[in-house]
Amino acid sequence: MRSLRFLGNEILLGTLIALLSIFTAFASWQGSIADSKQNEYEIKAMQELNDGNAEYLSANQFIVYDYTMYDGWYTTDSEDKAAYYEASYSEELQSALTTDPENPFSEDYYNAMYATANDYWANSDTDFETAGQWDNRGDGLQLVMLVMALGLAFAAWASLVKEDSNMRFLFSALAVVTFVLGLIFYLGVPVVAA
């Protein structure tokens, strides 16, 4: 037990209290940044999801319009009306007719019409994934903060107990162990690639 007497040293306890306080505050600060980033990416992802849905509905309306104009062109008996219908086609339908006049409403046509919506949805998925990574980082930092705060409590109790008490050595040893565990957990916190 004499070899552990250094654990009761006032300077060691003061140092532990200072280090544990600093690391608790640091983990808390980084956790709040992670939470903020998670929120930022979730809002951005939801906005892109909504924009993608709006673009999808808009594309559906243009597709119906293209079908209406194509049907009008197909059934008309007037060259003037045919020219009007052809001029009313979307750029995507005009391109599809150039590519394959026999099958203008092909998969390529639909892919072109939904391209903007699909881009928004892909960006939304990416941002939701990034938000999840920030969430995992925040959770890891919360664990670090919990362990460091527990160590801080042990160090504080050790400093209040009489110097020759075995409880002082126990609390001091637990403070050292939790500090080391907190550092290990901190090193294991996931990093988000920016």
pLDDT of residue 5: 59
What is the spatial distance between Cα 166 and Cα 5, in angstroms, rounded to a whole number? 10
Return the closest-CA partner of residue 131 out of 49, 32, 39. 39
- Name the token pair of 51: 């924009």
Q: What is the mean pLDDT of each run of 10 residues along the chain (194 residues)?
A: 61 89 95 96 98 97 96 90 92 92 93 97 97 96 96 91 81 92 96 84
85 within 8 A of 76, measured Cβ to Cβ: yes
Q: Which pLDDT value is given to residue 3?
A: 57
Domain ranges of the chain: 2-66+115-187
CA angle, 47 then 48 then 54, to 5°:
90
The confidence score (pLDDT) of residue 166 equals: 79
What is the rounded CA–CA span in Å between residue 116 and residue 118?
5
Structure-token match 């504080």, residue found: 156
Burial of 131 (0-12, 13-18, 19+ CB in 10 A): buried
Determine contact, residues 8/158, Cβ cutoff 8 Å: yes
Give exposure, 95-122, as e/b (b: 16+ Cβ within 10 Å): ebbeeeeeebbeeebeebbbebbeebbe
Amino acid sitting at position 177: V
Nearest to 135 by CA among 36, 69, 20, 29: 36
pTM of the model: 0.79
